[in-house]
Chains A and B, each alone.
Chain A
């Protein structure tokens, strides 16, 4: 082979190797984290762990059912609040690309995305916890809903913007009224992007601790009343991990493992929905 070409082939090979190494570096931290938490957490996970309340310090066993139920409820209520508003706002932004209101809403959404979660927690504390004179799960849901909003709005807006204009024109030219163009044509065609935005936003807030510190607060007992303080997985991890007891540290590892797998699962579901619901344009 000509030496000139040999050099080029070698360069190309080197570039390939560098890329593989870099790609490995990106995945490595996640794999290490999963491995570490799995190793630490798996030993406490059993049926009792998932179905029992925490035992007092000194007693063996005990579970985190209060945190599982609490996390589920808080996230559920947050989703109920954030999803409709987020989708509607995303539709507005994609339909009115250059109006003044759209410009300011888009700016607000970007800023909201950057607001530290602890700040949102404090604000919700003053909005809801103080007037009601009690920490409550619903205030935690509000804080998490505020965090979900920008993710859902952005993903809805971007998804709908990617739909070709010809699609909308086809519907309008068939004398279909505007609201039906949106609900029957644009949303169904963009459903995979919108759904994956929603699931990602749930995955994102499921592990949020800071906004819940001042709102849902935590609760050692099982509570399903949204107006009372409620335990949640991230709060439980925070409280138990900072406690001085080894049994509680183990519970925290177990809870961390469950949280991690929930988030991983949600991400995998996102990938699957994108594939299953994707509309071939």
Chain B
């Protein structure tokens, strides 16, 4: 299998006349954790939302350039197909408030109208919740509403829901910024486990987090991809002066 899973070529994104992602070229390798960091408003979240085509849902938003998934341009696929291959976890935990924990995990199947046997459902629920390190905590309350859980548990439920669909890539948009430190560290631990099966792209503006969890780091500034390299190198010996300034806290 090819090592590169996602590749952007001259990728641009706009909100109306506002050019928020500028000519990004990047190659992302399979089964790695990639951190995308940068100051607020640098286009990192927008770039992430372009990968699974959520960006285009916003009025006045558009993009151009190539976004290749396994060599195929996601902008030539049906967006549903793209999103089956590329799951997403959001900044704030957003389990479906009308569904139980159990149904939240298999929401991707149930809401798509896919019929499954009870045994298959149970398997998927247990496997996904176990992968999301949540099974032990919720196995006795699977039929309670997902919103009864704590924030950190809800976020892990959202991760379980995303990986239940067995995507190739998992996008995480500041997944711990709404959580307390303990939940944050449990999710960070989880990310290290998950990279065995998925490619993780995590947006964060917490530099320590990027340093802790990622194999490679991309630094965005003012819509440009300034630098993309091994995390170790990025945090010890970056090539670009802007990366260095950001990491040493000269601006944020």
Binding site for B on A (CB under 8 A): 98, 164, 166-167, 169-177, 180-181, 184-185, 188-189, 279-281
B190 within 8 A of A: no
A164 and B178 alpha carbons, distance in the complex (Å)? 16
Number of contacting residues on B, CB 8 A?
Answer: 29
A176: chain B residues within 8 A (beta carbon): 107-108, 111-112
List 15 contacting pairs A-B, 8 Å CB cutoff, sorted by A: A166-B92, A167-B97, A170-B95, A170-B96, A173-B54, A173-B83, A173-B90, A174-B87, A174-B112, A175-B83, A176-B107, A176-B108, A185-B96, A185-B111, A279-B98
On whether the beta carbons of B96 and A166 are closer than 8 Å, the reply is: no
On whether the beta carbons of B80 and A177 are closer than 8 Å, the reply is: yes
On whether the beta carbons of B59 and A98 are closer than 8 Å, the reply is: yes
Convert B83-103 into 0s and 1s, putting 1 for each residue whose CB lies closer than 8 angstroms to a CB of A. 110011010101111100000
B136-157 contacts to A, CB under 8 A, are 145, 147
A180 and B113 alpha carbons, distance in the complex (Å)? 9
B97: chain A residues within 8 A (beta carbon): 167, 189, 279-281
On whether the beta carbons of A170 and B158 are closer than 8 Å, the reply is: yes
B57: chain A residues within 8 A (beta carbon): 169, 172
B69 to chain A, nearest CB (A): 13
A189: chain B residues within 8 A (beta carbon): 96-98
A185 and B111 alpha carbons, distance in the complex (Å)? 8
Given contact pairs A169-B94, A173-B54, enumerate 10 new A-B contacts (beta carbons under 8 Å).
A98-B59, A164-B94, A167-B97, A169-B54, A169-B90, A170-B90, A172-B54, A173-B88, A174-B108, A281-B97
Contact A175-B94, Cβ < 8 Å, known A169-B54, A184-B111, A281-B147: no
On whether the beta carbons of B84 and A175 are closer than 8 Å, the reply is: yes
Tell me which of B83, B94, B145 contacts A167 (CB under 8 A). B94
A98 and B108 alpha carbons, distance in the complex (Å)? 30
Interface centre among A166, A167, A184, A280 (most CB of B within 10 A): A184
B131: chain A residues within 8 A (beta carbon): none
On whether the beta carbons of B113 and A175 are closer than 8 Å, the reply is: no
A176 to chain B, nearest CB (A): 5
B52 within 8 A of A: yes
B162 within 8 A of A: yes
B13 within 8 A of A: no
Chain A binding surface, main DSSP class: helix
A186 and B92 alpha carbons, distance in the complex (Å)? 18
A279: chain B residues within 8 A (beta carbon): 97-98
A280 and B144 alpha carbons, distance in the complex (Å)? 12
B213 within 8 A of A: no
Interface centre among A170, A173, A180, A188 (most CB of B within 10 A): A173
B161 within 8 A of A: yes
Convert B40-70 into 0s and 1s, putting 1 for each residue whose CB lies closer than 8 angstroms to a CB of A. 0000000000001010010100000000000
A33 and B252 alpha carbons, distance in the complex (Å)? 65
Instruction: Kindly report which residue of chain A lies nearest to residue B52, judged by CB atoms.
Output: A173
Contact A177-B90, Cβ < 8 Å, known A170-B158, A280-B147: no
B98 to chain A, nearest CB (A): 5
B107: chain A residues within 8 A (beta carbon): 171, 174, 176
A20 and B204 alpha carbons, distance in the complex (Å)? 52
Instruction: Kindly report which residue of chain B lies nearest to residue A174, judged by CB atoms.
Output: B108
On whether the beta carbons of B87 and A180 are closer than 8 Å, the reply is: no
On whether the beta carbons of B94 and A170 are closer than 8 Å, the reply is: yes
A172 and B107 alpha carbons, distance in the complex (Å)? 11
A182 to chain B, nearest CB (A): 11
A158 and B87 alpha carbons, distance in the complex (Å)? 30
A177: chain B residues within 8 A (beta carbon): 80, 112
A189 and B82 alpha carbons, distance in the complex (Å)? 26
A98: chain B residues within 8 A (beta carbon): 59
B124 within 8 A of A: no
A169 and B90 alpha carbons, distance in the complex (Å)? 9
A189 to chain B, nearest CB (A): 5
On whether the beta carbons of B162 and A174 are closer than 8 Å, the reply is: yes
Contact A167-B112, Cβ < 8 Å, known A173-B83, A174-B107, A175-B83: no
A174 and B171 alpha carbons, distance in the complex (Å)? 12
A169: chain B residues within 8 A (beta carbon): 54, 57, 90, 94
A279 and B92 alpha carbons, distance in the complex (Å)? 18
A98 and B95 alpha carbons, distance in the complex (Å)? 28
Tell me which of A173, A180, A181, A188 contacts B98 (CB under 8 A). A188
10 A-B pairs closest in CB distance: A175-B83, A173-B88, A174-B108, A166-B94, A175-B84, A170-B94, A188-B98, A184-B111, A279-B97, A176-B111
